[in-house]
Amino acid sequence: MAFWFLPELLIPILVVLLVVLSLHIKSTRSKNSLPPPQNWPIAGILPSLVVNLHRLHDYIAAVLPSTGNSFMAPIASTTRFFVTCDPANVQHVFTSNHANYPKGEEFAQIFDVTSGSLFTADGESSRRLRARYQSVLSSPRLLASMANCCHDKVEKGLLPFMARMARTGAPLDINDVVSRLVFDLYATTVLGVDPCRLSLLDMPPMQVADAMDTVMEVGFVRHIVPLFCWKLMRCLMVGPERRLAAAQGVLRRFTLEMVERRRKTVCSIGRLEENEEEQQARVTSSSVVDILSNYVNDPEYYENDDHLLQATLITYMIAGRDTIGTTLPWVFYNLAKNPHVVLGIRNKLAPIASTRKAAAPFDAGAMMVFEPEELKPLVYLQASLLESMRLYPPIPIEREIMVSSDVMPSGHEVRAGDIVIISLYSMGRMEDLWGPDCQEYNPERWLSKDGGKLRHVPSHKFLAFNSGPRMCLGKDIAISQMKTIVAAVLWNFDVVGVLLDGQQAVEPKLSCLLQMKNGLKLKVQKREM
């Protein structure tokens, strides 16, 4: 009796399958033809999405120019998507009429493991939480601790590992290496615990990191599958929903363990006698400055079985680990294909290295890690990062929902309840924005004519760090950390080759993040200096 409606689902499912089959046959006959997606009865444009799922972002990027950079996309007859990459529409959604385009309740359900945190919040709740996050991330002690941790991870983890791989001549998967490095970095700075995944010789699987990847992969499925479909799968515990439930369990157990460990530490310090004040001061000053410390004693965050605190910690991990860990492999991919850019970056690093060597004795065999203040003036290095994020934004789409009916600057009428999809991936490939060479990796496009300054690009044209009231709070932290990592690798190592024989093509996986599907295997050689 509980599933009385299942027979009614058979008809639309059969229709979708038949349409998908016909479209597949059609697509094999004319692979170079990319017309706007067909709006089919009942199924809407879902068949077109299914047929092109393996290259969805490229498909949308190819379709949008032929539609004037925006089109309405009904799915399963009950859901309407408005897909756009028009900067005027982006500015309207994120800034001019921001209140009318919240993330919405369905978004909070899609990412229910972060429910209640800034990641899913809207309105007044979002403003209040954002102020708290901003207060935490602006702490000078925390910022210094994060910079020191990044330096330490690069010096004692990343570079020795790469040197070992260079000596053996074995290829390394830079995607996996970066993922481990950034997971270690953010587990340390968010939770105060160092998993040391990168330094272990056998490179064991990362259960928690894999669980975070699963959240984003299944979140992508939830984005494109009608709500009732994925909720039915969740009820039956089948398909991707079964994987997601297991992943959420891993994340909740891990964060709860970290919280309980921290509370025990805080309680043990709190029990020190009055005449032990000096000992307490030593413990406090030597302890790791982390984000968890700002929340662990706040009653608001440990009521309701710690759900909000866990969701908050997972959000911090996602914001840092997933964004930087997704971006850096694409950065190294682009740099490996463009040795002239690597040479340009090294030319800017050379004076810093020379000054260092002249100021203090330097072991010729030692590897060099640059400080954030040293790298701050290196706009060409930053331009190389931004250019990679233009072509491969860590979050390729943004999703908002309409509260009240509206007319977009592009002239499209959108109704209350419509879902707005903004394709960041397509925005980075618009000739109107970036010129006829928009498909090419060219850091110079970010520089002033004399090359001495970064050219200003409004956030509604370059959305990698979001825009308006939702501008990324950790933007400067992320850029600084990426510059530290990239500068150290490029100065100390040569990257040899991009695709090794037998490696599958480098392409994104189906996820809310633009992660590499098959990784990126490279060979490295130690530079002689």
Q: Which residues are annotated as a binding site?
A: 472
CB neighbour list of residue 403: distance below 8 Å, 6 or more residues apart? 99, 100, 101, 102, 416
Q: What are phi and psi of 33, to 5 degrees?
A: -95, 125
Residue set of the binding site for heme: 472
For residues 118 and 133, is the Cβ–Cβ distance under 8 A? yes
Rounded-to-integer distance, Cα 478 and Cα 484, Å: 10
Query: Got the DSSP string for 33-75?
Result: --PPPP-BTTTBTHHHHHHTGGGHHHHHHHHGGGGTSEEEEEE
**SS3 call for 83:** strand
Strand partners, 447: 454
Count the alpha carbons within 13 Å of 182 in the hemisphere toward its beta carbon: 29
Amino acid at 436: P
Contact 391, 406 (CB under 8 A): no
| The pair of three-digit structure tokens given for residue 407, joined into one six-digit string | 């007319």
Distance separating alpha carbons of residues 86 and 66, to the nearest angstrom: 13
Count helices and strands in the chain by DSSP H and E runs: 22, 9
Tokens of 389: 């994020």
Q: How far apart (Å, rounded) are the C-alpha atoms in residues 185 and 191?
A: 10
Spatial contact of 44 and 74, defined as CB atoms under 8 Å apart: yes
